[in-house]
Structure 1
Amino acid sequence: MIEILQQYGMSLLYSDGYRFTGLAITLWLLISSVVIGGLLAVPMAVGRVSSNKFLRYPIWLYTYIFRGTPLYVQLLVFYSGMYSLEIVRGTDFLNAFFRSGLNCTILALTLNTCAYTTEIFAGAIRSVPHGEIEAANAYGFSRFKLYTCIILPSALRTALPAYSNEVILMLHSTALAFTATVPDVLKIARDINSATYQPFYAFGIAAVIYLCVSFVLIGLFRKAEKRWLAHVKPQSSH
């Protein structure tokens, strides 16, 4: 194992000398998809709970499709399927975009996590106490101010535990990136296994890397929950 770490340690963590690989790519996939997906999910969650059916139903359909199909299939559709379409090959921007395995992977991860996060946030919005909304209406809050000052802050705090699980699941989902030849941690581990024929050490090291990243993420979310969810923590009677 020491020899593997000495020879492939940099590739697993940062770079193979010519490009970013390993943990650096895995973190890039995670951060970019979670950030973009989370930003898109907030307005979509508002639309998901809207009384306007022309706004609510398309969002429901989108979340239904991406939550109801495997992420692996979604990645194959974007990486292998989209490039087979004439309109994609005939458009310069689309041609360049879908030729990149990294772009296709980020797109699949982003749309997938956005669908799950939209439902998480929508459920949190529905759980906002009606009394808070009535009080804001009594003070004359506009619809925009009601959402930005009352509903969304309360909902996002409530959604934090469920959202932390989604982020951890997305970290695990980045392991599918090797399907699109993206040199993430698992892709490098597979290359190490092919070169050394030591699958236990190759994949064991990869597992430890994922475990360490999960440990850091769980710690960060626990700190966030202690700070923003302190008001819902049971208080001691002493």
Structure 2
Amino acid sequence: MDFTFLGDMFASLLKGLPLTLNFWVLSLLGGGTLALILNLMRTTRIGNAVAGAYVFVFRGTPLLIQIFMIYYGLAGFGFVRQSFLWPFLREPYWCGLLALILNDAAYTSEILRGGLRAVPKGAVEAGRVSGMTRFAILRRITLPLAFRQALPAYSNEVISMLKATALVSTITLMDMTGIARAAISETWRAVEILLCAAAIYLAISLLVTRFSAWFERRLSPWHFGRTTP
């Protein structure tokens, strides 16, 4: 195995890491915000129907098709090309980011909904008895408890979104996977290049897994048999 080539390849792939991290972080932030909105919509009958349809569509179709539909499909509508959104939607970066956000929101909303359902009713009733407003109960009781319940599942979604960012390379974006694809077409050394890319993704996933485990212990020290220092 050519270790000199591997070292050069790692250095080349790391040039695409900032774009990968950019997509990853922004898609999680945007998806999390939209997921919270979707769950708030579920408090009404019409909103629940709309949110349910949204989740069904974006969870039931491949992310790659969603990226292609946004990047290639929207350009086929004249009103889109004439709208104020066209300067953004004609750029692969914004199309890729929009697809990732919409997809992440569908999965995160279901994770959050499961966490909200797991919040003890007694905790909410205690907040009402103590005189808290609905917003205060949501901010100080419901959301923190729901987040704690949803954390294990959400950590898996975080890692899934990291891997999903690789799909933006299909619309000409040069993230780590895009650089790897270009290098393979030039050198035909697919095994070494893909191993380098996989190692970087694995390293980031390991950091997320360790941080999630640490954060879970901090949120529930009694569950792990010790107290928080």
2:56 to 41, 50, 64: 64
- Matched with 2:146 is 155
1:188 aligns with 2:179: yes
Using a 3 Å threshold, how does the CA distance of structure 1 residues 161 and 142 change in structure 2: closer, same or farther?
same
Q: Distance in 1 between matches of 2:39 and 2:185?
A: 44
Q: Distance in 2 between matches of 1:151 and 1:38?
A: 16
Q: Deviations over 1:91-139 (max 9, x none)?
A: 2x32211111111111000010011111111111111011111211222
Structure 1: gaps spanning 5 or more residues: 15-21
- Matched with 2:67 is 75
Structure 2: gaps spanning 5 or more residues: none
Once the two structures are superposed, the pairs formed by residues 1-238 of structure 1 within 5 Å of their partners are 1-5=2-6, 7-14=8-15, 22-48=16-42, 50=43, 52-91=44-83, 93-233=84-224
Runs of 4+ in 1 over 6 A off after TM superposition: none
Q: Deviations over 1:116-169 (max 9, x none)?
A: 111111111111011111211222322111111111111011111110000000
Quote how far apart the aligned CAs of 1:202 are: 1.1
Q: Deviations over 1:28-63 (max 9, x none)?
A: 110110011112222322333x2x202221111111
Q: What SS does the corresponding residue of 1:182 show, helix, strand or coil? A: coil
Query: What is the TM-score when the length of structure 2 is the normalising length?
Result: 0.92
Letter of the 2:24 counterpart:
L
Contact 1:158 1:229 in 2 (8 A): no
Query: What is the TM-score when the length of structure 1 is the normalising length?
Result: 0.89
Q: What SS does the corresponding residue of 1:160 show, helix, strand or coil? A: helix
Q: What SS does the corresponding residue of 1:32 show, helix, strand or coil? A: helix
Quote how far apart the aligned CAs of 1:7 are: 4.4
Q: What SS does the corresponding residue of 1:141 show, helix, strand or coil? A: coil
Using a 3 Å threshold, how does the CA distance of structure 1 residues 60 and 185 change in structure 2: closer, same or farther?
same
Aligned residue pair count: 225
Quote how far apart the aligned CAs of 1:5 are: 4.1
Letter of the 1:47 counterpart:
M
